[in-house]
Amino acid sequence: MATATLRLRVFDGSRQPFSDNVKMRFMVTDGTQKLRVDEITTANEKLYDNLPFYDSYGDNYTVLITAPGYKQSGYHPVKLSDSFTQTVDVMMVSNDPGFNFAGARWPSAKKTYPFLAADVDDATGKARYGDLVEAELPLACLLNIAEASSDVALAQGMPLDYIKEVRWDGDYAPKQDRFFCWCDAQLINQIKIGESAGQFMKVPVLLHPGATSSWKEVQFTQADLQFTFHENDTKTIGSTNCVMLELDIDYYSDPIAHIFVEVTVNGLAHTLTNPVEVYILRWMAGRMANKFEFAPLYTLTD
């Protein structure tokens, strides 16, 4: 029988190689649900060869890693081949991680994302941003979405080029699972062009009150961006006609899984999508696809 090789590497919340003094359990299951690897190790990198290659659905492996005091992590599907070594990078963070916003201080943040204070003077913008730093989760969410948006290439520019102002008022203020902003209405056409090229898929707006249209990235199987437009909410900024845009990242890209797993579970537990989980999932998805390094202006600490 032909065989496949898997290289498994583990990283921490700072996107650096994981500590080599923590005992972890590595489990690798093939597509037929047979456990092929079950090992206790302190190594942050392992090579597993002689794994069965089926040339079928059996090659859709699942990687799972556990460690005391850390969130369970892993990836699926991991498509193995008999012609090359597949590398999987997994991120492990503590059960109660902290945030390091040293790289997201106001001077860096406003330079990278001018729309953060486009509507106010610098002092007001800095104070308002300071409140986000104190709150932590809404800032982590905003930075996740902004970084992910910078990796989306449109026919003309990128989504960040079309964002003019963040909404900070009332129920529209940044939250731990989304933020609202005013964007150039031309962004809608850019998303439609992307849809025609297979870059986005149109999704229902039923979970977004007041929305008129919504699209989701189709780059990955997890942690894809969603662009939801509220075209009845308009504003003119300078000479630009703007509409309200709601940006979020869901754990699952599949609409059915999103509704019946993520939304239902969050609703029963009265919780919102956690930016820590989004950070982990988006980073791993980018590494798996070999497309880009997801590197928001913050990191996670143990």
Question: Which domain, by its residues, includes 224?
Answer: 98-301
DSSP 246-274: EEEE-SBSSHHHIIIIIIHHHHHHT----
Q: Do residue 80 and residue 137 come from a single domain?
A: no
CB-CB contact of 26 with 37 (8 Å): yes
Strand ranges (E), 42-177: 45-52, 60-66, 73-79, 85-91, 98-100, 163-166
pTM for the whole structure:
0.92
- Going by C-alpha positions, the residue among 177, 140, 163 that lies closest to residue 296 is 140
Q: Do residue 118 and residue 175 come from a single domain?
A: yes
Q: Do residue 160 and residue 131 come from a single domain?
A: yes
Whole-number Cα distances in Å, 190 to 126, 150, 155, 166, 201: 32, 15, 6, 20, 13
- Domain closes at, from 69, 91, 113: 91
Q: Do residue 297 and residue 204 come from a single domain?
A: yes
- Domain closes at, from 91, 107, 142: 91
Q: Do residue 36 and residue 107 come from a single domain?
A: no
Q: What pLDDT does 113 receive? A: 98
Q: Do residue 163 and residue 289 come from a single domain?
A: yes
User: How many separate domains does the chain show?
Assistant: 2
Q: What pLDDT does 292 receive? A: 80
| pLDDT by position in tens, the chain (length 302) | 799 999 999 999 999 999 888 999 999 999 999 999 999 999 999 999 999 999 999 999 999 999 999 999 999 999 999 999 999 999 999 999 999 999 999 999 999 999 999 999 999 999 999 999 999 999 999 999 999 999 999 999 999 999 999 999 999 999 999 999 999 999 999 999 999 999 999 999 988 999 999 999 998 988 999 999 999 999 999 999 999 999 999 897 644 333 333 333 344 343 689 999 999 999 999 999 987 889 999 999 98
Q: What pLDDT does 263 receive? A: 36
- Domain closes at, from 44, 75, 91: 91
